[in-house]
Chains A and B, each alone.
Chain A
């Protein structure tokens, strides 16, 4: 297992480099001028100097190489410096956002908590309600519980989050006034009442995303349980005199979780990327919103870096899913 993991990690390196190159090329080919937002009154030679200052005059391969070195060499050193108080990266030039005139990673670190608070918790809540729903729906197939569950997950799955999001805002903020419609990122939790305000502003975005995630995962859980409930080993467990609870929650569940846990692990990167729309709807200034505004502002270093971080997360969690699969299923041997 360890050698397998190491080998997978090593093969991930060329994949990631290739992905970074493709991202760079795509952005290079995309139309748009990073200076388009600047006033038209700026004289041409000033514009040229600004381009030079941003490094835009260098040939493409030089710019790509510089970005790559900054990403894999300088930025990790900055992180180390932050942890250990060393000065490894002192004086090195970091990846700078054109839009904010600040290091890209400083801004990303600022935004991550918002995303994790809302989207990450929504994912956990989604998984937490999906598993029991899936189990009960399968065990009581075609019962009213299963029928309702099927209907709700069809809705949750097929209605896009920007629709449910707006619907929630109209009902719970505008009509009922229960929750704020805009997420206030400046809110600091210092005492009980600010904690309550934080919770109340998180409820709607978390609910919208959790509904969506739970719809998908509960369907997976249900069908996986159904597959296993008909297996011969279930009959064996019953013939041994095991209680129904043991049969379902030990024998069947353990087998059913194998594919579901994989799906859950594969879904983790979507916490960061897939929530772009929900963050827009509720004005949560997390990573998704950061990416959207960077695209609109032609902030190429930011877009490039974020896209690459997402790609890296996807590759990482693919590996995590495979490793978990190997741990859960004794029949799988990676070596």
Chain B
């Protein structure tokens, strides 16, 4: 992707907290990233690292209360989404930005036909009448590879398999030709062969339609296959961001290195024990004042407890939030 192109989506200084009985949970702390047109940005990080909350914050999809987006700027189409009136924001949801969620079994409304659910955004955002919306819905189902699309519009979600339902979700997200598609672990709930099919479908759709994609996943293997750039999140912060090749060849953050080591090597003689990252992510009752990873880090130094590292440049298009200067290559083991 050309590095100079103006981003379709530019996020900076995003902070989201949850007000709970036990206190405020600082789920997203000063997150920023840029998404260029047509680019696929992979977002990785352990469970609870704030990937979903970040993306939902962009479009105001978190339930409020308890969620509160405290600060940040989300520029899309020259407008700050965080400052839009509710009605304008609804125009962006499903219009300029499409969303796919993790669990296709529960993400569709069980009592409405699939056709109705695909036609809803078409009628809402594109103002199509019933007939034209139905025609377009059939096209979309066809596009996402559902055979006999026109007839299946009248079917209910329970008449589709999990993989087929995720295809329907993709059709809904793509209905209004969005410029950005946010996919929150879209294949996690599916079995491996279906996962591969969905990945292939998205790669194919990206070639055909050219939208930018944010792809959230736990699976670095998936990232390696489809992403242009990778953003690694930990404890509600971005700890590393780089082109995909650089992340795999030259990871700079100890957490990224540890994540890479958790991938089992298929080609190894006998796969050694699956590696895990020792320790727990911190509970975010306050915005971290020190490096949140230091308790699990082999390279922790006194400075890590005193100062939360800010993102700094570490090569072309490569940024890392760490005080430690990692040697080049990924061989140097942490710990």
- Residues from chain B with Cβ under 8 Å of A238 in the complex: 61, 93
Determine whether the beta carbon of A254 is less than 8 Å from that of B121: no
Give bound CA distance, A241 to B120, whole Å: 9
- Residues from chain B with Cβ under 8 Å of A242 in the complex: 90, 94, 120-121, 124
B92: contacting residue among A231, A233, A241, A246, CB under 8 A: A241
A236: contacting residue among B59, B92, B109, B111, CB under 8 A: B109
A243: contacting residue among B90, B112, B173, CB under 8 A: B90
CB of B225 within 8 A of chain A?
no
Give bound CA distance, A329 to B110, whole Å: 8
- Residues from chain A with Cβ under 8 Å of B121 in the complex: 240-242
Give bound CA distance, A278 to B93, whole Å: 53
Determine whether the beta carbon of A239 is less than 8 Å from that of B61: yes
Given A232-B101, A331-B156, A241 and B91 contact (CB-CB distance below 8 Å): yes
Given A235-B61, A330-B156, A240 and B110 contact (CB-CB distance below 8 Å): no
Give bound CA distance, A232 to B91, whole Å: 20
- Which among A236, A242, A246, A328 has the highest number of chain B CB atoms within 10 Å? A236
- Residues from chain B with Cβ under 8 Å of A197 in the complex: none
Query: How distant is B196 from chain A, measured CB to nearest CB, in Å?
Result: 24
Determine whether the beta carbon of B94 is less than 8 Å from that of A233: no
Query: How distant is A196 from chain B, measured CB to nearest CB, in Å?
Result: 44
CB of A258 within 8 A of chain B?
yes
CB of A283 within 8 A of chain B?
no
CB of B12 within 8 A of chain A?
no
Determine whether the beta carbon of B112 is less than 8 Å from that of A239: no
Q: Which of B91-143 contact A (CB under 8 A)?
A: 91-95, 98-99, 101, 103, 106-112, 120-121, 124-125
Determine whether the beta carbon of B158 is less than 8 Å from that of A239: no
CB of A111 within 8 A of chain B?
no
Give bound CA distance, A331 to B159, whole Å: 9
- Residues from chain A with Cβ under 8 Å of B27 in the complex: none
- Residues from chain B with Cβ under 8 Å of A236 in the complex: 99, 101, 107-109, 169, 172
Determine whether the beta carbon of A331 is less than 8 Å from that of B109: no
Nearest residue, chain B, Cβ from A233 = B109
Nearest residue, chain B, Cβ from A229 = B63
Give bound CA distance, A240 to B173, whole Å: 7
Determine whether the beta carbon of A330 is less than 8 Å from that of B92: no
CB of A255 within 8 A of chain B?
yes
Q: Which of A232-288 contact B (CB under 8 A)?
A: 232-233, 235-244, 246, 251, 254-255, 258
A239: contacting residue among B93, B110, B125, B156, CB under 8 A: B93
Determine whether the beta carbon of A232 is less than 8 Å from that of B124: no
Query: How distant is A48 from chain B, measured CB to nearest CB, in Å?
Result: 66
A233: contacting residue among B61, B86, B110, B156, CB under 8 A: B110
B111: contacting residue among A232, A239, A258, CB under 8 A: A258
Q: How many residues of A contact B (CB 8 A)?
A: 22
The proximity string for B residues 61-84 relative to A, scoring 1 for CB distances below 8 Å and 0 otherwise, is: 100000000000000000000000
Determine whether the beta carbon of B106 is less than 8 Å from that of A231: yes
Determine whether the beta carbon of A241 is less than 8 Å from that of B110: no
Query: How distant is A238 from chain B, measured CB to nearest CB, in Å?
Result: 6
- Residues from chain A with Cβ under 8 Å of B125 in the complex: 241
Give bound CA distance, A237 to B93, whole Å: 10
B110: contacting residue among A237, A244, A246, A331, CB under 8 A: A331
Determine whether the beta carbon of A254 is less than 8 Å from that of B112: yes
Query: How distant is B39 from chain A, measured CB to nearest CB, in Å?
Result: 21
Give bound CA distance, A312 to B108, whole Å: 40
Nearest residue, chain A, Cβ from B104 = A232
Give bound CA distance, A246 to B121, whole Å: 12
The proximity string for A residues 152-163 relative to B, scoring 1 for CB distances below 8 Å and 0 otherwise, is: 000000000000
B94: contacting residue among A232, A239, A254, A258, CB under 8 A: A239
- Residues from chain A with Cβ under 8 Å of B95 in the complex: 241
Nearest residue, chain A, Cβ from B105 = A232
- Residues from chain A with Cβ under 8 Å of B158 in the complex: 330-331
Determine whether the beta carbon of B109 is less than 8 Å from that of A251: yes
Determine whether the beta carbon of A232 is less than 8 Å from that of B103: yes
Determine whether the beta carbon of B111 is less than 8 Å from that of A254: yes
- Residues from chain A with Cβ under 8 Å of B172 in the complex: 236, 240
- Which among A235, A241, A244 has the highest number of chain B CB atoms within 10 Å? A241
Query: How distant is B167 from chain A, measured CB to nearest CB, in Å?
Result: 14
Determine whether the beta carbon of A241 is less than 8 Å from that of B93: yes
Give bound CA distance, A242 to B59, whole Å: 13
Determine whether the beta carbon of A233 is less than 8 Å from that of B90: no
Determine whether the beta carbon of A232 is less than 8 Å from that of B110: no
Nearest residue, chain A, Cβ from B60 = A238
Query: How distant is B107 from chain A, measured CB to nearest CB, in Å?
Result: 5
A240: contacting residue among B103, B124, B156, CB under 8 A: B124
Give bound CA distance, A219 to B11, whole Å: 43
Give bound CA distance, A254 to B101, whole Å: 22
Show 6 residue pairs from A and B whose CB-CB distance is below 8 angstroms, ordered by the A residue: A232-B107, A233-B109, A238-B93, A240-B121, A241-B95, A251-B112
Q: Which 4 A-B pairs have the closest CB atoms?
A: A241-B94, A240-B94, A239-B99, A241-B93
Q: A231-B106, A233-B110, A239-B99 are in contact. List 4 more A-B contacts (CB 8 A).
A: A236-B109, A236-B169, A239-B101, A240-B120
